[in-house]
Chain A
Amino acid sequence: MALSGLTLVLFVMGHMLGNLQIFLGPDVINAYAYKLHHLLPSSALWAVRLVLLGTIAVHLWAAVTLTLDNRKARPHSYQEDKVVQASYSSRTMRMSGIILLAFIIFHIAHFTVRAVPGMQYESEIESKESGRLEMVKVPLVKNGEVVLKNGHEVTTFNVNDMMVAGFKVWWVSAFYIIATGLLCMHLTHGFSSMFQSVGLRNGLWRKRLDRAAHAYGWVVFLGFAIIPISVMTGLLKMDSTGGLVSQVGETAAITDSFEK
C-alpha cells in the first residue's frame, strides 16, 4: 500500500507540475507534451504507462485485500461507535479511493485515449465539417521558434486546446475539481501514513509529516483545480495561433508517435 502509494504520490506531483505549464502558454505545454512522448521510444513509453497502471492495480489490490480482511476481523459491529481521534480523511480512504478510481478511468479515456464520445479531440477534418471543436496539429515551438526536422516543421498535438476544450464543459470541470479535492483528502492521510507503514515516522515526525501531508494535499488540489477554474473563468483560452490550422494538411508527413 505504502510503496505503491509513494509511486502515485510522486507521479501526481510530476503530473501537476507538467500541467501547470499551460499557464506558460500553449507552445510551452504543447512542447512539454511532445517531449514527454518522445523522451523514450514508443514501446518504453507504454512500459512506463503500464507500470503506472500496474501501481494503481497494486494499490487497489492491497486496498481490497485489506478491506476484506478488516471486514472479516469485525463481523459484529458496535451498536454505538464513536470516533475519537481518527481524521475524516483517514476514515474515508475507501470512498475517496473508489471515486478516484472512477475518475482515473474517465481521465484516461478523456485525455489520454480520448475515447469519450463527443470528446475525441482529434478528428481535425471532421470537426470542421461538423462544426465541432477543432483539435489540430500545431507546429512544435521551442524558445519561440518552430522546430524543424529534415527541413520540415515538426508538429505536435494541441494539448492546450484539448484541455481548454475539455474544461469548457461545466460538468467535466466540476468532476475534475471534485476529484482533485478527494485526491487532496486521500493524500492528507496517505502521504503521512505511508511513512508510518514503512516505519519512518515517530511522535515528533508524525506532527511534521501530518502538516506536510496537508500541505501536499492542498498544493496538489490547487495545482490541478486551478486549470479547470481558469478555463471556466476564461483565463485560459484556445490557442491563439489557431491560424496554423490551415497548414495541417501540408505538414502531415511527420506525425506524432502517440497518435498511432
Chain B
Amino acid sequence: MEKTMDLTLKVWRQKSANSTGTFETYGVKDVSEGSSFLEMLDTLSEDLVEKGKEPVAFDHDCREGICGSCSMTINGIPHGPEKATTACQLHMRHFHDGQTITIEPWRAKPFPVIKDLVVDRSPFDRIIQSGGFITSRAGSAVDANAIPINKATADYAMDAAACIGCGACVAACPNASAMLFTGAKASHMNSLPQGKAEKDRRTLAMVTTMDGEGFGGCTNVGECEAACPKSISLDMIAQLNRDYATAQLKNFFKPVA
C-alpha cells in the first residue's frame, strides 16, 4: 500500500488581476505519495468545493510535463525541488508527512497574476510573434533531405527547441529576465541552415520585444538553467548574446531589416 501524508499548504490567493492577494493556509490529509503535486492540489480543490469555497485556480493541461501550462513556485523554487521536473510531474514522495509547503505564482512584472496561481504569459507569445519563426509558406518547401544538416547541429537545435515555454526561467531569475526562453527559441532557429536567412532580423526583433515587455536583464547567475524543467543550457543565452552583438554590428553599418 502506498504511504500517505498530511500537509499544510500556504497558498497565494488572489481574486483577480486588480485585487491584492494574500496567503491562505490549508491542511490536506491523506495525500498518497504516488500522487503528483497537481493531484494533491486537486484534492485540496475538492475539499474547498465541499465547503462551498472556490478552489485554487492554477494553469495545467497535459500533466505529463510537455505543454508548459503548469506554473507555480513551490517552497521558493519554480516547479519545486526536483531537478528537470515540471510541477505536474513532481510526485508527493519527495515531500514528507507534516511538511508545510508554500505555493506562489510566478513573480514577474510582465507576468501579472490573473487569479491565484494563474499568470498571464502572453509576452512569450509576443516574443515569438516578432521573429521566432522560419518563414516557409505551406507548399513552398524543398525536399526535406535537400539540405543535409550535420547531426551535431540538429541535436543542438533540438536541445534548444525542447523549451516548453513555461516561464520557470523568468520566475527563477532574481531579475525576472527572459533570456533563457528567448535564447532557446532564437538559438533553435539561428543554428539551423533553414533559419539563417532571417537570423539577424529575428534576433534583433526578439530581443527588442523581450526588452519592451519589461523583463529584467541577465546577470549570468544561472538560476534559470537550474529551474528549467527541460534543462535548457545557459549556452542558449551565450548564443543569443553573440547573435545579437553580430546583428547589431551588421545593423550599424547596414540595416538588416
Asked if A82 contacts B75 (CB within 8 A), the reply is: yes
Asked if B172 contacts A84 (CB within 8 A), the reply is: yes
Known A-B contacts A82-B75, A197-B241, A199-B245; the reply to A70 vs B214 at CB < 8 A is no
Smallest CB-CB separation from B77: which chain A residue? A82
Residues B239-257 near A (CB distance < 8 A) = 239-245
Q: Dominant SS at the B interface?
A: mixed
Asked if B220 contacts A66 (CB within 8 A), the reply is: no
Asked if A200 contacts B23 (CB within 8 A), the reply is: no
Asked if B216 contacts A72 (CB within 8 A), the reply is: yes
**Count of A interface residues, CB-CB < 8 Å:** 35
Cα–Cα, bound, A77→B219 (Å)? 18
Known A-B contacts A70-B176, A199-B243; the reply to A90 vs B220 at CB < 8 A is yes
B222 CB contacts on chain A under 8 angstroms: 85-87, 90
Asked if A73 contacts B238 (CB within 8 A), the reply is: no
B35 CB contacts on chain A under 8 angstroms: none
Asked if B174 contacts A72 (CB within 8 A), the reply is: no
Minimal beta-carbon separation of A160 from chain B (angstroms): 40
A201 in contact (CB, < 8 A): yes
Asked if B77 contacts A73 (CB within 8 A), the reply is: no
Smallest CB-CB separation from A82: which chain B residue? B76
Minimal beta-carbon separation of B9 from chain A (angstroms): 13
Q: List 18 A-B contacts (CB under 8 A).
A: A66-B175, A66-B219, A69-B175, A73-B108, A78-B107, A79-B10, A84-B223, A85-B225, A86-B174, A87-B222, A91-B221, A189-B221, A196-B241, A200-B238, A201-B235, A202-B238, A203-B233, A206-B235
B residues apposed to A, CB below 8 Å = 10, 23, 73, 75-77, 102, 104, 107-110, 172, 174-177, 214-223, 225-227, 233-235, 237-245
Given A70-B176, A73-B176, A85-B226, 13 other A-B contacts at CB below 8 A? Answer: A69-B216, A70-B175, A70-B177, A73-B110, A74-B108, A86-B221, A91-B221, A196-B238, A197-B241, A198-B242, A198-B245, A199-B244, A200-B242
